[in-house]
Structure formats: structure tokens, C-alpha cells
Chain A
Amino acid sequence: MSEPPVPGDITPALEVSHLDVAYRVRGQDRLALRDVSFAVSRGESYGLVGESGSGKSTVALALVRYLPRNGQVSGGTISINGQDPLSMGKQALHALRAKTVSMVYQEPGRALNPSLRVGRQIAEVYQIAGASADEARRSAQDMLRKVQISDPDRVMRRYPHELSGGMAQRAVIAMALASSPSLLILDEPTTALDATVEAEVLDLVAALRQEFGTTVLFISHNLAVIAKMCDRVGVLYAGELVEEGPARQVFGDPRHPYTVGLLRCIPRRGQRKDRHRLDTIPGFLPAPGHTMTGCVFAPRCALAQDRCRSSEPPFFDVSDLRISRCFFHASAPDLPRATPAADAALAEHDTGEPLVEVAGLSKTFAGSGGGVRALADVNLTIRRGETLGLVGESGSGKTTLARVLLGLTGPDQGSVVTLAGAPLSPDVRRRPQQTLRRLQIVFQNPDSALNRRHTVHSLISRPLTRLAGLSGAALRDRLAELIGSVRLEDRHLALRPGQLSGGLKQRVAIARAFGAGPDVVVCDEPTSALDVSVQAAILNLLADLQKTEQVTYLFISHDLGLVRYLSDRIVVLYLGRVMEVGPAETVFAGPHHPYTEALFSAVPSLDGQRPDRIRLAGEIPSAADPPTGCVFHTRCPRKLPTGVCESTEPPLLEDEPEHLIRCHIPLAELRTLQRNESAPSQGGSL
């Protein structure tokens, strides 16, 4: 984002001052936002970042008065282009929503009417603005072209459910821009999308902002996305703005202990589980509607002193552009760590003999008009004591692979899975108790994985009695040890999952997986439902447990940062095929498979140094109808002109020891290609 357009008019596009929003719950007003003030000048892109419960979406809703029935603005003012939506009559408010402000939400599917064709929905925006049906249709076509939909006519004839997630979000953005709004509010617009699609949509938003000069309020929990997309950023915590400033400065040199802590929770490039323990933020977000004196962050802050608890800090000017709501903003970067930095005495794990071996694994799901091949001839080895990272976008077959290993999904005939040399039955019901004990899983979503009618005690003790055969005193001792090692407390035992926070629930799930002393634990996106600060604690826990319990992990994630942090070796899946396997460092250092390269370059990074993105054209093809030859050729930016990619599936070749790549381009050539383009870009966009 280069220079914001110089505004001739100095009224900010959006000015929020001292905004208080309360939700009425059981007859009591609970403040969700307190004294939030910020301004976005014309053409600027302003980011609001915060974890769940910080009130960031409430800001978005309050701006256009879309608060739910029990919510109301109880103080402060809002000004959009000098107009005050809070005092507007119905008609003026309607006009404001129709013409001045547009919003894009997380789920594109919910923003589109499922029973109307996409074209009609976009054209409608123009018709409301007074265009004739014909003009509206043509304008809609133009707009779809602007959001890089190459065949607008075809898309316009579709119903929303016939579009992929990325395509639908583009259509929503097209709709949002159709009214040429002066303020565009994007509330987690890419959170539901895959990494490569997210990168495309973010690029699109950046490009459109250049073209239209639209003011953008960008709301996200993802700090890296905000860093990429925004000129300035405000950090929200528990309904209060705690720090604000230019994005690069705030993320490069944070001056509020919360921002400092949040940034330390994220694994950075070059950090590994065995050398860098992630820092965490101790404690919990205060309950909504808390009545706390002093600084909201004080209970969780290592720098807090009596002053912080007795009086609320005002905003301090850190520099002319930056403010921080902290008495000790100057020493915030020196925030003491909540967890010890590094564990020097790391047990050298021997990643020796193969523990799990998968050979010729295929899985075809029956479907109308032929099967869907979710996995095609997958071969891989998990070695004792290692973490094997499994990476891929949605539909790549990651979860299917995990379920086949666990025996929850039966593979096709001819597939072989062995554990320590012994073949595993494809059906979990036929596996002996000893095998069950050795192979466990931590699911992505603890709400689904934990029976909500059982207590924590019965959830955790069940594997102990059932698989480990413990009872009496031995059971009690092991249970106490287990809840201690996942850092739960005795008082949690009597509770049910619904009474626990997301992080605590995931700890229960981890305790259950480790209860019977497994050899292999499959971690299927174990932190993707959690906030950043909670995620760090869970990752530390997984790393610690691996050390103490000597387990092997199959770690599945779409988040490359996490995979890089935790994994010893990495497998990259695309459309059910292994595209690349190798030691984590080698895979990350490259040369990589073009798909891996695209995945890496799609991930926005906090430090602003990104490799040049190689763009992936189009969407992930359907597994029901995979492309011929190399399945990646339809999107591959490095496709060979000879046509071999379309006709022949490349073999998985071991060009370097341990490092296998499925590509027609020889490794040496990939190396040259990728080295030439990976020179860090300077200037230009942030």
C-alpha cells in the first residue's frame, strides 16, 4: 500500500470517539466496548485486531447500527463522512447503508441469497442506485471483471452454492463495491478461505483499494493479515483500544504489554519447538461486562504495578503517530516472559526406525457419477519420536489420511498400513486393545470431540480404565498426573465441557489422547479453533508432552507457521497425492515443489519480509474429476511448455537424500528458478 491518496477534504472518512456499546443480558447491561476512539482518513486502510471477545465485530456492527436487538450504543459518537448514523432517521440510515458503507463478512455463503442467481444480486445494487436493468447487468459484469472473475457471464448465471468459497467472496466484494462506497468494512473476509485463495483475495482487495481509493476498515484476528493489508492498526483487548499506530511500527516495536505478548505467541520463521519455546499470555480475558478498576490488562500483565490496578491508564503518546494505553509503554518491549524461554536440556530424540508405514494408500468415496478419490497411492513413513507435519489445503485429503490411520475410515483394497511392522486392520473395531492404546488423536474441534454430557473426570479417566486397565489408587494417581501435565486443575474435573473455555477443552482432549500412553498421536488442526494466545500454550504443551511421553506426532495443519515450528519432517498433500516429502528445514529452505512454493508465498508474514508471491490461478480442482497428468498443472505457475505436465503424472523422485518431489522439473532447475525470484522485495507494498 503506497501513499494514501492525499485528501482534499480533511474530514475523516470514519471517526469514532469514546464509543461505548452494551449488550443487555439477563436484565443487566454488559459493556462490550468501552471508550473506543479511532479515526480513519480518506483512502486509508485501518486494521482492528483482537482475539475473540475483544469486541472487534461489535465495532463493525455498531458503525452501521446493525447491533442485535439487545445491544445499544450507550455512549460516544460515530461519524461517517461527517454524518452521524446514531442520530439518523430510518431513511437516512437506509441510504447510508446502501450508498456510503459496504460490509464484507467472513462467510460469503451467508452474505448471498441462496435462492437468487449471483448476477441478479449484484445487478440489484445498481438498480437500487437507479440504473436500468440492462445497465445494471452490464455494470455487474464490469465489476465482476474487476474482481478478477474471468468469465463474468457464467458466474452471474450461477447460484451461490455453485461457487467455490473464494469465488463467492469475490462476488460479495463485487457487490460491496458496486455502490462505490466511501467506506468498506471487511470483517474477517478471508478467515474461511484456504491460504492460496486468501492470498488472492487479499491481493484483490489491495488492488481495488488502489483503483477506487476506498477507505477500508479491516477487522481480523490474524495479525499477519492486518500487517499486510493495513496502513494503521488498532489493537483491541476486552472492549478497549489498547494500542494504535502505523501497522509496521506496532508489529515491529509493540508498546503495549498485550501486543507484545500476542506477538510472542506466534511462531516466527526460524523458531523451532526444540530451540524456542513460545511465550504465552497467562490468565484469561475478563468476562464481558466486567467492572474492573485500573487497566483491563493488569491481571495478566507481568509489568503491572499497584498503579495499574488502581487507576486506568490514559493514552500515552509513544511517538507522534502512536499511542498506547499503558503506564509503562516505554518498558513494554521488556515484558518478562510468562514461560521460560528455552529448554536447553532437550532430550535428543532418536528419530530412528519407522513406526508407522503407509504404502499404496488410496481412498475412494462412493459418489454419484463415479467415486471421489480423496487419497491416491500415498506412501509415507512416520518415524519413532518425530513430528511429521501434514500440510495441504482443504480437500487435499489430510483428514482422510488421519482417519484411515486411525481405522475410522476404511481405505481401498490394496492399501497397507503398518504399525511397528505389524499390519493394522482397516477397521478400528477389529483392532486389538493394545493397538488402540498406541494410536490416538486430538481432534480439531473439542466441542465435537468431547461428549458434552460427560464430566471432565469421566472423559479423562475412561481411556485409563478402558485401555490402560487402571483402577483404584493407580487410576487416581495417573489421573492426577495427567491433569497436572496438561495443566488442568482438580476443580475442572467435576465440570462438563460446556463450562470450559476453548483452550481448557482442548487440554481435556489432549489429556484423553495421552491417557493410555500412546505411541502415535494424530493432531488434526488442534489449534485452529483457538485464539493465538491459547494456541501458543497448547503448542507448548504438545511439545512438552512429546518430550516427556516420547510420542510421535502426525501434525495436520493448514498453518505453515505452526507446521514449521513443530515438525521434523513435512509431507505436502494436494488432491490426495503427496507432492513433496522431506525434512522440515529442507522443505522450507527449498527448492520446493511449485505447489509448496505457492503455499509458502501465500502466507502473509508479520515481519513484512515476504518472498515474492507466486500466484496460483483458479481454484483447487474437484477430487471427483482430477486433472490429467500432474494434478497440479491447472494451477501451476511453472508448468512446462512441452505439455508433459498435462499428459503424464510425474513420479515422486528423491533428488536429494530424504527429500522427495513430485515434479517434472528437475531439482536443479527448480533451485535456479526459485533462487532468482526469492530476492526480498523492497519498498512497494508494506
Chain B
Amino acid sequence: MTDLTVDPGAPGDPRATPVGAVAVAAATVLAPPTRWRLLLRRPTFVVGAAIVLFWVVCAIFGHAIAPFSPLAQQLLNSNTAPSGSHWFGTDPLGRDVLSRVIVGARDILVITPLATVLGTILGTALGLAMGYLGGVVDLIAGRLVEAVLALPAVIIAFLFIVALGSSTVTLIIVIGFIFTPLIARTVRAAVLAERNLDYLSSARLLGENPVRIMFGEILPNVMPAILVEFTVRLGYAVFAVATLSFLGFGVQPPTPDWGSDIAANYSGLLAGYWWQTLFPALAIASLVTAVNLITDSIEQVLNA
């Protein structure tokens, strides 16, 4: 594997292993300082990044920030509307909704990026192989990808969770697996645009092996497409995690979580306890929106 090493002096050179590849994705693609500056000049990016940062802070320091313990029940104080002491009101068990929303950011913010990274790594490797090797590999992998895409994602998720048991790790694997064919398809299309360029012939004339050609030569050139796809999927992942925990396959009560809190309390909507559902829902919406704002900005900067 010695031929996988790249010049250490050259900034932005791809690390040939897939794990490193995504980790340095942003650095590679956005390497020229002007691109970062262009990005920071976009209000949409700044707003999106600020919202994501806010939730990241909540996820890490949630217990310190939250005004109450998210688990402390005050049965005498149940179902109270938003007020000065409980800004977001309380739930049927008298727990502070604000505190639960703040602390509930943790799991979704752990699962979402890890699942997306997993899906991106697998999808990138698969897409590179399909696009570059072509032929039988492309044919077989292509059919498999189509087969997975034809099944509803929720069904696949159920299968996995039933088989593996519900846990954070399971959720990461499930969502990563569901994203893999989608990302593979995007990467494959990007690789096809590169496949006939002469630099690949040059690499072959140097006797480079296919792995080095895929990860050392092609990958850096399709990185912009992968980065955009990654951020797009990140937005979907937030949704997917929230959906699965709403359906009861995610974080188990009493641990605070946006999706499961909505599931636990939405029946209260009829009784007029709207705050118990609205605020977790808003939290989900804000995170999805923020990620999409970032996606748009990155896409525009890369295409500029």
C-alpha cells in the first residue's frame, strides 16, 4: 500500500483512505482561502451556521444550560402553558419543555452527522468503483442500488432495527446504509464525467493501481459533488432520525429527544397543549432549515 501515500508537503492532497477522505472533504474542496471568505460573506451561510452552532452547544452543554433538569417531574405542575418560569411550558409529567428541547439536541446531533459520514464513505467508495471500474461491477452494483432505492426507507429501517435492536449505533448504521445507494449514484455520475479525461490515461501509463487512481486521482476531482451531496443528506438525516424516534425506534424515554417527545405528546394537541409538540417540532425544523441554508451556500460558492 506504499503507493497510497501522497506528497506530505502538498496541501489538500487527498488522503487515500476513505475514512480520511471525508474528514478532509471541506478542507480539500474549500482549500483556497477565497472560498471560505466567499462563504462567510453569504448571509444564508452565516445564519445557517449560527443555528447549527447553537444546537451543537446545546448538545454538548445541554445539562448546564437547561434551566431545569429535563427529567425532573413536577406532577402538580403538569401541562402548564408557557410562562415566565417555564418559557416553553411543561409536559404531562410536569417536565420543563425548554430543558427537554435543549438537552434533546444531543442524540440527533450525534446520530445525524455520523450516519451521514458513514453513508458518504460507503457511497463514495461504491460510486467510485461503479463509475471507474464500470462493466460488471457497475452492472451488479447498479442493480443492487436500484433495488435498495425501490424499497421504502422506513421498511429497510424497520428490518434493521428489528434485527439489530434499537440503539444509537443501530440508527447510525441504518441511516448510513439507506443513504449509501443515493450517494453512490451521485458519485458515479460525477466519476463518469471524469472517466474520459486524459489524466486517468496518464495515471495508467505510470502503472498506478485502480485503488490509487480512484482515491488519489478521481476522488479529489469529484469532491465538490460529494461535499454538496453530504450536506444535502445531512438535512435528510435530521429528518430521518426524528422520524424514527417519533415512531419509537430511536432514543427511548425518558431520555429527552425531539422526535419521541412529539410522539409522546401529540395527543395533547387536542386538549390544547400545543407547546408540548410545537417546540420540539420547531427545533427539528430549525436544524433542517439551517443545514439546507449551509448546503445552498456551499453549492453556490462551489459553482461560482
Contact = CB atoms under 8 A, between A and B. Distances in A.
A454 interface: yes
B132 to A, nearest CB: 13
B207 A467 contact: yes
Given A445-B198, A449-B202, A453-B12, A461 B7 contact: yes
B207 A458 contact: no
B199 A450 contact: yes
Given A458-B10, A466-B3, A451 B221 contact: yes
Interface string A444-460: 01001111111101100
Interface in B188-245: 197-199, 201-208, 217, 220-221, 223
Interface string B1-16: 0010011011011100
Which interface residue of B7, B13, B201, B208 has the most chain A CB atoms within 10 A?
B201
Given A443-B198, A448-B198, A452-B221, A467 B206 contact: yes
A659 interface: no
B10 A451 contact: no
A457 B199 contact: no
Nearest to B223: A453
Contact of A466 (B14, B28, B208): B208
Contacts of B3: 466
Nearest to A518: B205
A463 interface: yes
Given A448-B197, A451-B199, A408 B204 contact: yes
Contact of A462 (B12, B197, B204, B206): B206
Nearest to B200: A451
A439 B9 CA distance: 29
A90 interface: no
Nearest to B9: A457
Nearest to B6: A458
A433 B205 CA distance: 9
A449 B206 contact: no
Which interface residue of A407, A448, A453 has the most chain B CB atoms within 10 A?
A453
Contacts of B13: 454-455, 458
B204 A428 contact: yes
B276 to A, nearest CB: 51
A441 B205 contact: yes
B201 A454 contact: no
Contacts of B204: 408, 428-429
Nearest to A515: B206
Q: Interface size class for chain B?
A: 20 to 34
Given A408-B201, A448-B197, A461-B7, A453 B220 contact: yes
Contacts of B28: 453
Nearest to B221: A453
Interface in A512-530: 512
Contacts of A455: 7, 10, 13
A466 B4 CA distance: 11
A686 B220 CA distance: 53
A403 B200 CA distance: 13
Interface in A401-454: 403, 406-408, 428-429, 431, 433, 436, 439-441, 443, 445, 448-454
A433 B207 contact: yes
B172 to A, nearest CB: 30
B21 to A, nearest CB: 12
A451 B217 contact: yes
Contacts of B205: 406-408, 428, 436, 439-441
B26 to A, nearest CB: 15
A454 B221 CA distance: 10
Contacts of A463: 206
B216 to A, nearest CB: 9
Contacts of A452: 221
Contact of A436 (B7, B9, B197, B206): B206
B128 to A, nearest CB: 14
Contacts of A406: 201, 205
Interface string B120-139: 00000000000000000000
Contacts of B7: 455, 457-458, 461
Which interface residue of A433, A443, A454 has the most chain B CB atoms within 10 A?
A454
B10 A454 contact: yes
Contacts of B208: 466
B223 to A, nearest CB: 8
A461 B6 CA distance: 11
A4 B77 CA distance: 102
A645 B204 CA distance: 42
Nearest to B208: A466
Which interface residue of A429, A450, A451, A466 has the most chain B CB atoms within 10 A?
A451
Contact of A449 (B6, B10, B198, B220): B198
Interface in A445-490: 445, 448-455, 457-458, 461-463, 466-467
Contacts of A450: 199, 202
A512 B202 contact: yes
A454 B6 CA distance: 10
A84 B199 CA distance: 50
Given A454-B10, A454-B13, A461-B7, A443 B207 contact: no
A618 B9 CA distance: 56
Contacts of B223: 453
B207 A448 contact: no
Which interface residue of B7, B197, B206 has the most chain A CB atoms within 10 A?
B206
A148 B9 CA distance: 61
Contacts of B220: 451, 453-454
A506 to B, nearest CB: 12
B207 A449 contact: no
Interface in A557-591: none
Nearest to A452: B221
A93 to B, nearest CB: 32
Interface in A2-47: none
B192 to A, nearest CB: 15
Nearest to A446: B198
Given A445-B198, A449-B202, A457-B7, A466 B207 contact: yes
Nearest to A450: B199
A385 B6 CA distance: 35
Contacts of A407: 205
Contacts of B12: 453
A623 to B, nearest CB: 19
Q: 3 closest A-B pairs (Cβ-Cβ)?
A: A453-B220, A449-B198, A443-B198
Given A439-B205, A455-B7, 11 more contacts: A408-B204, A433-B207, A449-B197, A449-B199, A453-B223, A454-B220, A458-B6, A458-B7, A458-B13, A466-B208, A512-B202
Interface of A: 403, 406-408, 428-429, 431, 433, 436, 439-441, 443, 445, 448-455, 457-458, 461-463, 466-467, 512
13 contacts: A428-B205, A428-B207, A436-B207, A441-B201, A448-B199, A451-B199, A451-B221, A453-B12, A453-B223, A455-B13, A457-B7, A466-B208, A467-B206
Interface of B: 3, 6-7, 9-10, 12-14, 28, 197-199, 201-208, 217, 220-221, 223
